[in-house]
Amino acid sequence: MSTSANTAAAVNPNVFDVGSLTALKRQLKDGDPKALKAAAQQFEALFLQMVLKSMRDATPREGLFDSDQSRMYESLLDQQMAQVLGAKSGGTGLAAMIEKQLLRQNPEPQLFDGPLPLHPAAPNFLLPRQRGSLPLSRDTAPALIPLQNVPEASLSAVPSAPTIAPGTATDTQRAFVDRLLPAAVSAERTTGIPAHFMVAQAALETGWGKAELRRADGSPSFNVFGIKAGRNWQGPVVEATTTEYVAGVAQKQVERFRAYGSYAEAFDDYSSLLSANPRYAGVLGAQDASSFARGLQRAGYATDPMYAAKLERIIGGTTLRQMLAG
């Protein structure tokens, strides 16, 4: 039976059709978008059944035919009526509202440029001996994390930075990594986070340096992690337009970001923020790409629902690997 036929059977208004519910559960696990509408209709039917039951309970039960058996058949009738009402065109409108809300919370995955798959395997590799050993984990499967409200003083991605697909490293990318690697190695001693994880995050935030935040006079701010300037920040700031996701919807906003005197100062502040905030306890010392990326998104580092997936892709991509191994 085809997927569409299974989905149609899942909402067939037949209270005795247990197999259709089993098929619906399987389609939801497989990520079938059509099953989302069917699940919303099933929820509406359940709600209508509860309404009918409440009406039955409020009706006096006296008479010759009032018995446990009659009440059982009334219950089956109510279930069947709820299924039929929920499956009719439009129903009560509850299913449509549920489906709309679920779609907002689980937007379609964003496709990346380039021929490589969205979640490539991240093979282990070693840097030259003079730079130290930086193993990458093979477990790079990302997860969509429910959006969290990010406090004002928390961290946020700079959305104007384009995502670079893994491939042959350019001279600009090599120069970017060379500028940041010494500060990243120093921050690794403080946080326990592998240096190339932090370089990859800076590449995601800035598009490999092409969209670094700059001051009004054009000089660099060295803020490669998109760290916002909260109320307690006393240092210099820069303003930039950023994209924040509110209830799954991308919105352009002008935000104030911290400015530093060097990359070393930026990495030191990044290390301090992660070390001082208990939300990032699971990120400190993370030795595989999945734990690091998921931990950041789970803690509310960025509102982009695809942030962890993008970060894992850069960590496991050939672009960064070529530069670190070369």
Give the catalytic positions in this structure: 244, 269
Buried b (16+ CB within 10 A) or exposed e, 63-85: eeeeeeeeeeeeeeebbbbbbeb
Contact call for residues 316 and 122 (beta carbons, < 8 A): yes
Decide if 194 contacts 290 (C-beta within 8 A): no
Q: Compute CA 63 distance to the chain's CA centroid, rounded to the nearest angstrom.
A: 58
Q: Which residues contact 187 (CB under 8 A, 6 or more apart)?
A: 193, 195, 198, 267, 268, 270, 271
Distance CA(189)–CA(46), nearest Å, equals 55
Q: Nearest to residue 225, comparing CAs of 205, 207, 195?
A: 205
Which helix or strand (DSSP H or E) is residue 281 part of? none
